[in-house]
Amino acid sequence: MTEMVHGAVPVRTVDPILPRWWRTIDVWTMSCILLLFAIGILLGLAASPPLAARNGLDPFYYVSRQAFFGLLSLGVMMGVSMMTPQLVRRLAVLGFAGAFVALALLPVFGTDFGKGAVRWYSFGFASVQPSEFLKPGFVVVAAWFMAAGMEPSGPPGRIWSFALAFTIVMFLALQPDFGQAALVLFSWGVMYFVGGAPMVLLLGLAGVVVLAGTFAYNNSEHFARRIDGFLSAEVDPTTQLGYATNAIREGGFFGVGVGEGQVKWSLPDAHTDFIIAVAAEEYGLVCVMVIIALYATIVVRSLLRLMRERDTFIRLAGTGLACAFGVQAMINMGVAVRLLPAKGMTLPFVSYGGSSVIASGIALGMLLAFTRTRPQGGIGDILLRRGR
């Protein structure tokens, strides 16, 4: 009777979250991430057994841990990528606050594991590197400040973001961790540039970075030793860089064969910072080019999708995350081929390391959330309307 008077009540069909999520994310980016994870497990099988043997552990101890952290990272990445940009921002602020406090307390409670830089908290069964988790949170918070500063009567967001970046860089330089400090500063510079910063100001900041590098070289033995090793005309064949350079040379185009590489028996960090040397020696230049293509695809496709985004915060945060991810990979591989000084930076999703893999999952989850297709007018449509 009610239906006869008022008509039938329409039933709203709720689209299941997983199909909707799959339709809105960039499937190519997701596929490249999964391939990088698979390559990391494959290279871990080649690089980690010698280290496990030296430490008296099961041959596949590090590979199983890498698989565990990798699966955890992929789960976190998928969970974060399903969130709205607003929820991602809220969680990023909380995560950044916790990571910043942990970074500030490193001089008191941290350890260096005999590597000369206090970067980790050791819990016996595992270790955590706060700077890995700080980076994605910083990018989102800095983008939020910058976007707020562009609003009418908004706060001085650019100044706040720079003060935040400067503070983080100082804490990282005290460890010392100049690689992560440079990556944080680079991420901020990219977002500042995309946000419309004048080129003169960016050139001035580049000059400040050069002066700071000169000061660090004259006052930090750790920094000076790495720069001197990079600038030296000859490479000591008994150093990690020497072993890595020789392995890449021996690999050639197609590699020496699966399991036939020798660099993994000499390099203590073959499964982490110099994993690309193992790939080059056993699988050759072909494998290295595939890895480079996967990273390039993730970065380029993300930037292309962000170019159509009209929300300033999403555009800035996504650009910062994509560029930081790509530059970290570039730095790791550049060190291995001696294009850059040694940095102690992992190859995202490929190198062994729980902090690195999980933090990369968080960062890529945020990037996937920001680049998801949403019902909105493209930025080009808005510009056309303004021009009429």
**Radius of gyration for the chain, computed over Cα atoms and rounded to the nearest angstrom:** 23
Cα–Cα nearest to 279, from 299, 258, 305: 258
Backbone angles phi, psi at 373, to 5 degrees: -75, 125
Mean pLDDT of 118-132: 82
3-state secondary structure of 128: strand
Q: 240-251 vs 312-336: helix axis angle to the nearest 10?
A: 90
Model confidence pLDDT, tens digit, residues 258-279: 777 777 777 777 777 888 888 8
Question: What residue type is assigned to position 190 of the chain?
Answer: V
Report the mean per-residue pLDDT for the chain.
83
DSSP characters over 276-296: HHHHHHHHHHHHHHHHHHHHH
Please check whether residue 150 lies inside any domain of the structure.
yes
Please check whether residue 296 lies inside any domain of the structure.
no
Residues 306 and 322: their CA atoms lie apart, in Å, by 10
- Determine what percent of the chain is predicted with pLDDT higher than 90: 37
Please check whether residue 210 lies inside any domain of the structure.
yes
Contacts (Cβ under 8 Å, ≥6 apart) of 138: 96, 164, 165, 168, 184, 187, 188
Please check whether residue 333 lies inside any domain of the structure.
yes
Type and span of the H or E element at 121: strand 121-122
Please check whether residue 204 lies inside any domain of the structure.
yes
| More confident position, 66 or 215 | 66
Predicted confidence (pLDDT) at residue 384 exceeds the cutoff of 60: no
3-state secondary structure of 107: helix
The three-point CA angle 184-188-194 to 5° equals: 145
| The length of the chain, given as a count of residues | 388
Mean pLDDT of 42-62: 84
Of the spans 214-218, 234-238, 285-289, which averages the highest pLDDT?
285-289
Cα–Cα nearest to 205, from 143, 168, 162: 162
Backbone angles phi, psi at 120, to 5 degrees: -125, 155
The structure tokens listed for 376 are 């909105």
Mean pLDDT of 274-298: 91
The structure tokens listed for 286 are 């072909």
Predicted confidence (pLDDT) at residue 235 exceeds the cutoff of 80: no
Evaluate whether 230 touches 341 at the Cβ level (below 8 Å). yes
Residues 18 and 221: their CA atoms lie apart, in Å, by 52
Please check whether residue 97 lies inside any domain of the structure.
yes
pLDDT score for 1: 47
Evaluate whether 117 touches 177 at the Cβ level (below 8 Å). yes
Predicted confidence (pLDDT) at residue 234 exceeds the cutoff of 70: no
Tally of domains within the chain: 1
- Determine what percent of the chain is predicted with pLDDT higher than 70: 88
The DSSP output letter for 26 is -
Evaluate whether 63 touches 45 at the Cβ level (below 8 Å). yes
Model confidence pLDDT, tens digit, residues 335-381: 888 788 777 788 999 988 888 899 999 999 999 999 998 766 545 55
Evaluate whether 95 touches 137 at the Cβ level (below 8 Å). yes
Please check whether residue 384 lies inside any domain of the structure.
no
Residues 36 and 221: their CA atoms lie apart, in Å, by 35
* Pick from 45-59, 130-144, 277-291, 368-382: least confident: 368-382
Evaluate whether 379 touches 92 at the Cβ level (below 8 Å). no
Per-residue confidence band for 15, with pLDDT thresholds at 50, 70 and 90: low
Evaluate whether 191 touches 320 at the Cβ level (below 8 Å). yes
Evaluate whether 102 touches 151 at the Cβ level (below 8 Å). no
Structural domain for 223, as ranges: 18-236+302-372
